[in-house]
Structure formats: structure tokens, C-alpha cells
Chains A and B, each alone.
Chain A
Amino acid sequence: MPETLVVQAEMAELERVREWADAIGERLGLPQSTLFAIHLCLEEAVSNIVRHGFVPRHDEAPPNKDVRLALAREDGVITATIEDHGVAFDPLGVTAPAGPATLDDATVGGLGISLMRQFAQHLAYERRDGMNRLTLRFAPAEPAG
């Protein structure tokens, strides 16, 4: 049975996301590295929604900024899903920036998606009923301690 949390697409909500994931991680006895990966991917995914998911339109009703998060463990695999009502965006369709050759080449954009690809063992995206749904899976977690 997944644990769920609904937040608003606002940076101030990231603290609630962190606390929620921390509590679940403690309850499940997740290894520190697994919890780190989950925290990282949730932060990058939600912050992308906040920064890019909504275009201000003064002639329309305020957008639905609910972001629904779920975490579940089945057969040792942790699955995280993030659903939002923002503009259609498939992070898997974005080309990850190449590693910088020099400091002058180093960019500060696009790293979030690159990090999600590296820290999650599986990513999937779908757009359905006006919602983005990003699914991430993390390697089987062994109990802590």
C-alpha cells in the first residue's frame, strides 16, 4: 500500500516532501544511500515542476498546482511516483548535458534530470488525463543495521 502526500507546486513545500520521505525511510529501515537517492530524485522532480510546470495566464482560472507523491515498497523495490497537472513535460526526452571539459564549459542547468537518471534504477513517464506522471524505482533495499 503506497504512502501518499499531496503538496502544492511551491519551493516552500520541499521541506514537507523531505520530512515525509524521511519518515517513510525510517519506518522501512532504508539504507542511507537509498534514502539519499530518493530524496535527490524527489527534490529534482518537484523543483522542476515548480520552476517549469506552470505558465502564468491571467485570463484563465488559477491552475491546479497539486503535486501528488507516492512511495511504496514491493519485493524490496522502492517505487516513487510524482504526478502533477503542469504543462506536458517528459524529462526522459531531454538530452542530458555532457560532462564539462573545463570550468568555462560547466553549465548549471539540466543537471537535475541527469541526476535522476543516475540515482534511480528505472524511470518512466506518461502523460494521461492532463497530468504528468513520473515513476522512479530504486534498487532493492536491504534493511538498515
Chain B
Amino acid sequence: MEMKIELLADGITKVNLEGRLDILGAQQIDLHFNVVVASHRRVIVDLEQVPFLASMGIRTLVIGAKTIKLKGGRMALLKPTPDVEKVLTGTGTDTVIPILHDLEAAISSVSG
């Protein structure tokens, strides 16, 4: 699992994940991801290159979203694959972290 940071306009941070977000993948990014969510308030997590998501990956995302919310910020998930989105909706994660399939919509979601 790889993680790259992209700084967008208006203080928005895009976290580009690449690889499986399974237990091992979550372990690989947890520290770096936690540093990013602790230091940024508007975060878009791009899941387009994430072919797999399991419960430990959801844990990483939810804890990250909670951390950002505590600071009055917002997080959104961008372009999950159909199978990954099914995991997110099946666990109700989509009701607490917005899922968008368009970058502009994701930017709007975390702005304001």
C-alpha cells in the first residue's frame, strides 16, 4: 500500500492511496495517515487505485475522519471501485464519511 499527498487549492489535501487496504496495507500507512489527518482539516482520500478494502482499512479511514472532525474539519472519500464502495455502504461508513465520484464534488464536500 502506498500513500502520496497532493496539495490542492484552498488548503485541501488529497491523499492518494494505491494498493490493498487490508490489514497489512492499513499497517503500512497508519502512521503516515495519522500524521496527515492530525495536521490537515480538509482531506480527500482518493480510493481509485485501491482494489480491496477490509475492516481494518475502514478502521483507518474512520479514525482519520474522527480526528479531522474534532478539529472542525471534513474528510471525503473519492472514487471507490464498486466492490470497495459495497464494503463502505455495507458497514454504514458512507453515512458518516461522504463518498463522491467526482473531484469537484469532493472538493465541495470538504470545503466550507
Contacts and interface: CB of A to CB of B under 8 A. Distances in A.
B52 A103 contact: no
What DSSP secondary structure best describes chain A's contact surface? helix
Nearest to A47: B23
Interface in A26-74: 32-33, 36, 39-40, 43-44, 47
Interface stretch (A78-86, A94-102, A121-129, A135-143): A94-102
A18 B95 CA distance: 30
Contact of B83 (A33, A98, A103, A104): A33
Contact of B97 (A99, A103, A105, A112): A103
A92 interface: no
Contact of B54 (A32, A103, A115): A115
A24 interface: no
Nearest to B65: A103
Contacts of B92: 98-100, 106
Interface in B29-83: 52, 54-56, 58-59, 62-63, 65-66, 69, 82-83
B61 to A, nearest CB: 10
Interface residues of B, number: 25
A111 interface: yes
A11 interface: yes
A15 interface: yes
Given A40-B54, A103-B69, A108 B63 contact: yes
Interface of B: 22-24, 52, 54-56, 58-59, 62-63, 65-66, 69, 82-83, 86-87, 90-93, 95-97
Given A32-B83, A36-B83, A106-B62, 10 more contacts: A36-B52, A100-B92, A100-B95, A100-B96, A103-B96, A105-B96, A108-B59, A108-B63, A114-B91, A119-B86
Interface of A: 11, 14-15, 18, 32-33, 36, 39-40, 43-44, 47, 98-106, 108, 111-112, 114-115, 118-119
14 contacts: A32-B83, A36-B83, A39-B52, A43-B22, A43-B54, A47-B23, A99-B92, A99-B95, A100-B93, A105-B96, A108-B55, A108-B58, A115-B55, A118-B86
